[in-house]
Amino acid sequence: MIDFVGAGPGAVDLITVRGKNLIEKADVIIYAGSLVNSELLNFAKKGCQIYNSAEMTLEEITSVMVSAEMDGKNTVRLHTGDPSIYGAIKEQMNILDKYNLEYKVCPGVSSLFGAAASLKTEYTIPHVSQSVIITRMEGKTPVPEKEDISLLASHNATMVVFLSAGMLNELSRKLIRGGYKSDTPAAIVYKATWNDEKVIKTTVSEIAKSAEKNNINKTALIIIGDFLGNNYKRSLLYNPSFSHEFRKGD
- List residues near ligand SAH by CB under 6 A: 9-10, 35, 79-82, 85-87, 110-112, 114-115, 162-163, 189, 191-194, 219-221
> Least distance in Å: CB of 212 to ligand SAH?
17
**Nearest-angstrom CA–CA distance, 29 and 48:** 7
Q: Name the residue nearer to ligand SAH (CB basis): 158 or 193.
A: 193
Which residue lies nearest ligand SAH, judged by its C-beta?
81
> Least distance in Å: CB of 7 to ligand SAH?
9
Q: Name the residue nearer to ligand SAH (CB basis): 174 or 191.
A: 191
> Least distance in Å: CB of 167 to ligand SAH?
11
DSSP for 74-111, please give it: -EEEEESB-TTSS---HHHHHHHHHTT--EEEE----H
> Least distance in Å: CB of 165 to ligand SAH?
6
Q: Where are the alpha helices (DSSP H) in the chain?
A: 17-25, 58-70, 90-98, 111-119, 149-152, 168-178, 207-213
Q: Name the residue nearer to ligand SAH (CB basis): 10 or 185.
A: 10
Residues with Cβ within 8 Å of residue 86, at least 6 apart in sequence: 136, 162, 163
Residues 161 and 137: beta-carbon distance below 8 Å: yes
Q: Name the residue nearer to ligand SAH (CB basis): 3 or 82.
A: 82
> Least distance in Å: CB of 91 to ligand SAH?
15
